[in-house]
Structure 1
Amino acid sequence: MQSRTIYLIGPMGAGKSTIGRMLSRELNLPFLDTDQEVEDRCGADIPWIFDREGEDGFRQRETFVLESLQGAPAQVVATGGGIVMREKNRRLMIASGFVVFLQASVATQMQRTAKDKRRPLLQRPDREQVLADLYELREPLYREAADLVVCTDRGSPRQVIKEITEAVGMG
């Protein structure tokens, strides 16, 4: 039985939260979304945190969440798209879990985030360029941390979950 935490990493719109919830039910493991956890601990939403503390303040809060998970029972954790920007975060996830990079093209990200007003980095007219730039910057870091890469552009979340459960030896 999988005894390590499964971390889902990847760009915004890759399906980390959706697949994470479904995967946690499939494996009968608790689910945690780091963005939600940061909001709960802070008592404020992510746009407010970005506005008050900047991206660096938000990233520090993500690190605190990851640190608090060390030594905890296995669970499924959906992370924010930029969590890999800190080397410490990558090291924490690699050391304590099985890391899955949910890959999604910029076109898929555009489609899935089109109506989303809660993503501070996308509150600009050049959303597609922002997504492309973020992907170019972060993609090598996702790959560096990943034990498994799964494309979420086509196919159903069920297929993605099947791939993950087989890779962790529970499928």
Structure 2
Amino acid sequence: MSEITNFKGEAVTAKPENAADLEVEALIRSVGDRVRKARDLKGMPRRVVSELSGVSPRYLAQLEAGEGNISIGLLLRVAIALDLRIEWLVGGEDPWSSDVLRVADLFRSAPAGTREKVLELLSPEPPEAMRARRICLIGLRGAGKSTLGAMAGAKMGVPFVELNREIEDHSGMPVNEVMALYGQEGYRRLESQAVERVIAMHDTMILAVAGGIVADPDTYNLLLSRFHTIWVKASPDEHMSRVRAQGDTRPMAGNPEAMEQLKVILRSREALYERAHAQLDTSGRAPEESLERLLALIEDKGFLT
């Protein structure tokens, strides 16, 4: 018999009844060993892992001792805090063999182009298979990404995720507070981690991302390789009017040059947006009409087949 922790954090005694129970206990011990070993190798105190993951130090101690029957959601948080993929904590291969660690470190520090080539060499799947049934809507704010993504997801029965909402849920604070606390660089790091999380969690989905994500080469290349990307665009006038119609007057408040700045941003990112696998122009169209065009584009391109 062994003592484990249930979902309420209460200690209960469990008695193995069959081979499956024994395998579960062995898996719990293995996960605990790997979490402890990863933390030791990275020189991270349990307190730091707790702060990064949101899992209490007491629960982490139980997990490492093989006494905590942790949920998938909490284990994913621990894996992210340790900068590991969750499958490394539960898989059969030892993720800390010298070769695996060296390859992982080299890959993490390599330029985006090199990482793409490595993925092409290591993956027997064609690019379309790596993108699975994931769709990502990119483009400037006000183009209609969130509106159309939510409508299309509801119409097709596909999960819709806004990346900024995922960042807020994970960090426990609004994006503007994230920016104020961590700065642009910190926000980009959280943005990249959020993309990796949704890839791990969804093979079928529609994702809407912030307009500036294309300025981060590594994160944008990850989107292009793991999502069927669609550039949702509109005229500068419509971008601005839609943002103001949502009740946000910040783009124009006290800044008579806001429209010209918007045009400059659009021109500077145009070449990046054009790398998307498809484009959808929403200029002069009602949301319902743009939705029909989006659904037709998805079907024609076979993004969900």
TMscore range, shorter length: 0.7 to 0.9
Within the candidate set 33, 36, 55, 2:165 is matched to: 36
Partner of 2:181: 52
Which amino acid letter does the alignment assign opposite residue 103 of structure 1? K
* Deviation by residue 1:55-97 (Cα, 9 ceiling, x = unmatched): 2221221111111123432100011111111111121111112
Which amino acid letter does the alignment assign opposite residue 188 of structure 2? R
Partner of 2:270: 139
Partner of 1:167: 300
| Contact kept in structure 1, 2:132 and 2:226, CA below 8 Å | no
Q: 1:14 is paired with a residue of what secondary structure? A: coil
Within the candidate set 139, 158, 170, 2:291 is matched to: 158
Structure 2: runs of 5 or more not aligned: 1-130
* Deviation by residue 1:77-129 (Cα, 9 ceiling, x = unmatched): 01111111111112111111210000111111110112326x7x877623213
Partner of 1:148: 278
RMSD (Å), alpha carbons: 2.3
Within the candidate set 64, 70, 76, 2:193 is matched to: 64
Query: How far is the alpha carbon of 1:45 from its aligned partner?
Result: 1.1
Partner of 2:61: none
Query: How far is the alpha carbon of 1:3 from its aligned partner?
Result: 4.1
Query: How far is the alpha carbon of 1:41 from its aligned partner?
Result: 1.1
Say how many residue pairs are matched: 167
TM-score normalized by structure 1?
0.86
1:19-34 to 2 correspondences below 5 Å: 19-34=148-163
Question: Could you tell me how far apart the structure 1 residues matched to 2:253 and 2:279 are?
Answer: 28
Max Rg structure: 2
Partner of 1:86: 216
Which amino acid letter does the alignment assign opposite residue 77 of structure 1? L
| Contact kept in structure 1, 2:280 and 2:294, CA below 8 Å | no
TM-score normalized by structure 2?
0.50
| Contact kept in structure 1, 2:136 and 2:230, CA below 8 Å | yes
* Deviation by residue 1:2-43 (Cα, 9 ceiling, x = unmatched): 942000000010111000001111221111100111111111
Are the structure 2 counterparts of residues 160 and 122 from structure 1 closer, same or farther at C-alpha, using a change threshold of 3 Å? farther
Residue 231 of structure 2 is aligned to residue 98 of structure 1: no
* Deviation by residue 1:131-168 (Cα, 9 ceiling, x = unmatched): 22221221211112x11011011223323323332333
Structure 1: runs of 5 or more not aligned: none
Which amino acid letter does the alignment assign opposite residue 233 of structure 2? Q
Question: Could you tell me how far apart the structure 1 residues matched to 2:151 and 2:195 are?
Answer: 21
Are the structure 2 counterparts of residues 154 and 44 from structure 1 closer, same or farther at C-alpha, using a change threshold of 3 Å? same
Q: State the identity %.
A: 27
Question: Could you tell me how far apart the structure 2 residues matched to 1:3 and 1:53 are?
Answer: 33
Partner of 1:116: 248
Within the candidate set 114, 117, 138, 1:9 is matched to: 138
Question: Could you tell me how far apart the structure 2 residues matched to 1:97 and 1:136 are?
Answer: 24
Question: Could you tell me how far apart the structure 2 residues matched to 1:123 and 1:79 are?
Answer: 25
Which amino acid letter does the alignment assign opposite residue 44 of structure 1? M
